């Protein structure tokens, strides 16, 4: 469909998709913040992943009071990754906003993203990550870095920051194998289609706590990590890099990007993915050299300057492999 012929964005229908699992502690605050959005919401799809606490009771209570809420429940636990995919595919609006169960949205979140998305497939936004929610006094601003070369190594665009064209989402999930983080898959494929744009202001509070899905995922594979690593990312990171290369998920992910980046626009990403798929020592050396040469795009750490920035960017594939849980879903 030609985007230029679609209805004005001010008239577009927005679906909010939320996946829950044992989130009773924070769920009411998040639902209340979504229900007061300044942009009209067509539906709020809440898909519970067989919670064992009071989450499902809370969802049913809200669904009984608000017609806009569609409550769904999985008979068996499928994990947050596949749960989000299934919930996203149920949305009937032209746009889909993804919601975590434990955040708090600011009232203008959807409105600002709808004003910004334009012809892009995805709009992300900045967010606050303070330990406590203090309206008007939040200090910890997270601004997701989202160029494609950076995304090759790091899932830096969280789902809770995303507004997505539903047509695009349905298309890319046809090729998704279920083992790549759903938001990483969305962001990378947006670059391979009509692009991704960011609202440069915080539009939600992303609550940090030990029970979040990504924290639990990282904890499952953190046995070999130390709290304040020094040499470990370089040595253990190399071993982990070689281990990751053997995974079918790794091969699927980088082969997909490699096959969809031929041409001048994504020439660097194409070259990097080609090297990530090779296991010989010379290819690894070329990969590290390429990361160092293009460190502003690949490594991107404005706080790291001087010689150390070149050292870290050269070893960046190993550094990012250290503690990488993204390919173990």
Instruction: Report residue 118's pLDDT band, with 50, 70 and 90 as the boundaries.
Output: very high
The residue ranking higher by pLDDT, 323 or 270, is 270
* pLDDT at residue 212, rounded to an integer: 65
* pLDDT at residue 178, rounded to an integer: 85
* pLDDT at residue 2, rounded to an integer: 45
* pLDDT at residue 228, rounded to an integer: 76
Residue 60, pLDDT > 50, answer yes
Residue 94, pLDDT > 80, answer yes
Structural contact between residues 187 and 124, judged by C-beta atoms closer than 8 angstroms: yes
pTM comes to: 0.93
Relative to beta strand 43-48, strand 69-73 is: parallel
**Which tens digit of pLDDT belongs to each residue from 2-41?**
444 455 677 899 999 999 999 999 999 999 999 999 999 9
Sign of the Cα pseudo-torsion (6, 9, 10, 12, in order)? positive
Structural contact between residues 30 and 209, judged by C-beta atoms closer than 8 angstroms: no
**Which tens digit of pLDDT belongs to each residue from 277-309?**
999 999 999 999 999 999 999 998 878 888 999
Task: Write down the residue that tokens 């949205």 correspond to.
Answer: 105
* Number of alpha helices (DSSP H) and beta strands (DSSP E) in the chain: 15, 9
* pLDDT at residue 5, rounded to an integer: 45
* pLDDT at residue 264, rounded to an integer: 78
Structural contact between residues 108 and 34, judged by C-beta atoms closer than 8 angstroms: no
The Cα-based distances of 14 to 24, 96, 189, 245, 251 in angstroms read 25, 6, 21, 39, 35
Q: How many other β-carbons are positioned within 10 Å of the β-carbon of residue 48?
A: 25
**Torsion angle, alpha carbons of 169, 146, 270, 273, to 10:** -90
Task: Write down the residue that tokens 């949305």 correspond to.
Answer: 91
The alpha carbons of the chain give a radius of gyration, in whole angstroms, of 20
Instruction: Report residue 220's pLDDT band, with 50, 70 and 90 as the boundaries.
Output: low
**Which tens digit of pLDDT belongs to each residue from 231-289?**
888 989 999 999 999 999 999 999 999 999 987 789 999 999 999 999 999 999 999 99
The Cα-based distances of 51 to 20, 77, 178, 214, 226 in angstroms read 7, 8, 21, 17, 32
SS3 call for 307:
helix
Structural contact between residues 221 and 143, judged by C-beta atoms closer than 8 angstroms: no
Instruction: Report residue 222's pLDDT band, with 50, 70 and 90 as the boundaries.
Output: low
* pLDDT at residue 230, rounded to an integer: 84
* pLDDT at residue 249, rounded to an integer: 94
Q: Residue-wise over 92-107: b if at least 16 C-beta within 10 A, else e? A: ebbbbbbbbbbbbbbe
């Amino acid at each position: 469909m030609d985007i230029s012929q679609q209805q004005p964005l001010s008239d577009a229908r927005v679906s909010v998709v939320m996946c829950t699992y044992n989130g009773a502690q924070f769920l009411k605050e998040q639902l209340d913040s979504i229900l007061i959005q300044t942009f009209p919401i067509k539906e709020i799809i809440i898909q519970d992943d067989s919670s064992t606490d009071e989450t499902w009771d809370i969802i049913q209570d809200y669904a009984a009071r608000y017609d806009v809420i569609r409550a769904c429940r999985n008979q068996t636990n499928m994990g947050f990754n596949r749960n989000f995919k299934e919930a996203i595919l149920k949305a009937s609006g032209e746009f889909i906003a993804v919601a975590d169960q434990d955040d708090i949205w600011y009232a203008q979140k959807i409105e600002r993203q709808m004003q910004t998305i334009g012809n892009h497939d995805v709009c992300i936004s900045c967010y606050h990550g303070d330990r406590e929610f203090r309206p008007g006094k939040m200090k910890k601003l997270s601004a997701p870095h989202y160029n494609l070369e950076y995304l090759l190594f790091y899932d830096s665009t969280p789902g809770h920051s995303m507004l997505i064209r539903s047509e695009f989402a349905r298309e890319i999930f046809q090729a998704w194998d279920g083992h790549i983080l759903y938001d990483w898959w969305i962001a990378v494929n947006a670059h391979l289609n009509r692009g991704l744009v960011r609202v440069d202001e915080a539009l939600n509070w992303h609550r940090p706590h030990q029970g979040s899905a990504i924290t639990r995922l990282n904890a499952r594979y953190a046995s070999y990590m130390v709290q304040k690593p020094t040499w470990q990312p370089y040595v253990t990171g190399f071993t982990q890099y070689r281990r990751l290369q053997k995974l079918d998920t790794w091969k699927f992910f980088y082969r997909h990007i490699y096959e969809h980046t031929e041409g001048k626009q994504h020439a660097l990403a194409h070259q990097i993915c080609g090297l990530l798929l090779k296991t010989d020592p010379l290819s690894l050396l070329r990969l590290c050299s390429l990361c160092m040469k293009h460190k502003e795009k690949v490594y991107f750490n404005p706080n790291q300057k001087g010689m150390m920035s070149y050292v870290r960017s050269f070893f960046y594939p190993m550094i990012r492999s250290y503690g990488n849980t993204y390919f173990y879903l």
